[in-house]
Amino acid sequence: MSLAFEISAAAASGGRSGVLRLPHGDVQTPVFMPVGTQATVKTVPQDVLERIGTDDAGVEIGTQIILANTYHLYLRPGHELVRRMGGVHRFMSWQRPMLTDSGGFQVFSLSQLRKVTDDGVEFRSHLDGSKHFFSPEHSVEVQIALGADIAMVFDECVETPATWQRTRDSMGLTHAWAARSKQYFDAHKHEVPWHAELGGKTQSLFGIVQGGMYADLRRESAERLVEMDFPGYAIGGLAVGEPREVTREMIARTLELLPKDKPRYVMGVGYPDEIEEYARMGVDMMDCVLPTRAARHGLLFRSAEVGEELSIAKPDTVEASDQASAESASETGRKTWVRMNIKRTEYAEDQRPIDERCSCMVCKRYTRAYLRHLFVAKEPLALTLNSIHNLSFYLDTMARVRAELAKA
């Protein structure tokens, strides 16, 4: 089997705990997947990734699965080079599961002078302005060369906000492209670099439900994709600036329509309490650049201390979006979190770890005072240590949810 999904427990809320079995190993779900854009989770070496995060019982299992971005690896170093190096796992020396996106999101968000036709997208590289063309077939061809365990269909990412008609037109194109992606994948999946080495296993291609912020279009998209029968389904086009209630509603409406026995993946979310909430609703996989990107800006996630809800609402310590998340979390009585800015003077002589409840290698060893010094002095180690802690915070959050769901 190239993919097997076994659900061991399901809660009344819809959340489930399970195991996703992939060619490069097993993944306990629900899972948060760190983003390794250019075949690297920025600033964190692979052996360290293998030691971040715990399992349901608090045993260190490390990062279970990471993402890489097709658009970036296609442009540099090139997918054919990665294929010649044995695929992305061997190239980056990461023998655990991986997932690649289709490149669509970056084509639509990073590149210039895009021209979309029914056939595909012509775009210019954000690196050197060179001209390229991605069709569903080419995106899948590139993803087969990279060889992640899970590949994604190529879809159009509609700008937001978009009208119902514009969203519906785009969705129609996305469905046609999903069918073409699948057709190409089925004909070429044996070309993955590790096909023989792993006993004839192949990658798995997931479909992506679109439909913007319109429940009726989400329904149509989910039904259409389920007819095409993918081994897993992503919910795309969310967390693009819409209010959180809308994100939640679109996820809830879509989950109802997706097969319960297949993995469900929400792309590009979110804050710690969001990933927790969506996991409890029945989302099995999520990814987001937030923990690593925030870390490189000196912003560290940690659990809130008793009575701290008031202090985090101060406008000088936290941005508007954090206030919203923290407040909504405390309203519903969930354990909340704080994003601290390690640059602040108040940490200059603070002997405590970032988070007294965190058991990560950074919190076990270093003080806030030292981390502040490193960051203020622009030492590269600051970015690594900050990233390790934030990733641990996310992975441990999911481990906690998995443990709770396993008891359901």
For this structure, is 101 an active site residue? yes
Catalytic residue among 149, 287, 355, 396: 287
CB neighbours of 200 closer than 8 A, spacing ≥ 6?
A: 190
Q: Considering CB under 5 A, how many residues would be counted as binding Zn ion?
A: 6
Distance CA 89, CA 86 (A): 8
Catalytic residue among 101, 284, 355, 396: 101
- The CB-of-269 to Zn ion minimum distance in angstroms stands at 22
Return the number of other C-beta atoms located less than 10 Å from residue 162's C-beta. Answer: 17
Stretch that binds Zn ion, among 3-11, 290-298, 373-381, 383-391 (CB under 5 A): 383-391
Given its phi and psi angles, is residue 352 left (phi above 0), alpha (psi -120 to 50 degrees) or beta?
beta
| 52: DSSP letter | S
Nearer to Zn ion, 210 or 390 (CB): 390
- The CB-of-311 to Zn ion minimum distance in angstroms stands at 20
Q: Is 389 in the site for Zn ion (CB under 5 A)?
A: yes
Nearer to Zn ion, 282 or 291 (CB): 291
Q: Is 340 in the site for Zn ion (CB under 5 A)?
A: no
> In 188-221, which positions are buried (b, 16+ CB within 10 angstroms) versus exposed (e)?
ebeebbbbeeeeebbbbbbbbbbbbbbeebbbbb
Bridge-based pairing of strands 16-22 and 150-152 is unpaired
Site for Zn ion in 62-81 (CB under 5 A): none
Q: Is 360 in the site for Zn ion (CB under 5 A)?
A: yes
- The CB-of-66 to Zn ion minimum distance in angstroms stands at 19
Q: Is 358 in the site for Zn ion (CB under 5 A)?
A: yes
Nearer to Zn ion, 29 or 390 (CB): 390
| 149: DSSP letter | S
Minimal CA–CA distance to 231: which of 280, 269, 189? 189
Binding-site member from 41, 209, 283, 363 for Zn ion (CB under 5 A): 363
Distance CA 388, CA 367 (A): 14
Site for Zn ion in 305-324 (CB under 5 A): none
For this structure, is 396 an active site residue? no
Distance CA 372, CA 341 (A): 9
Nearer to Zn ion, 182 or 389 (CB): 389
Judged by the rule CB under 5 A, the positions of this chain that interact with Zn ion are 358, 360, 362-363, 389, 392
Residues involved in catalysis = 101, 287
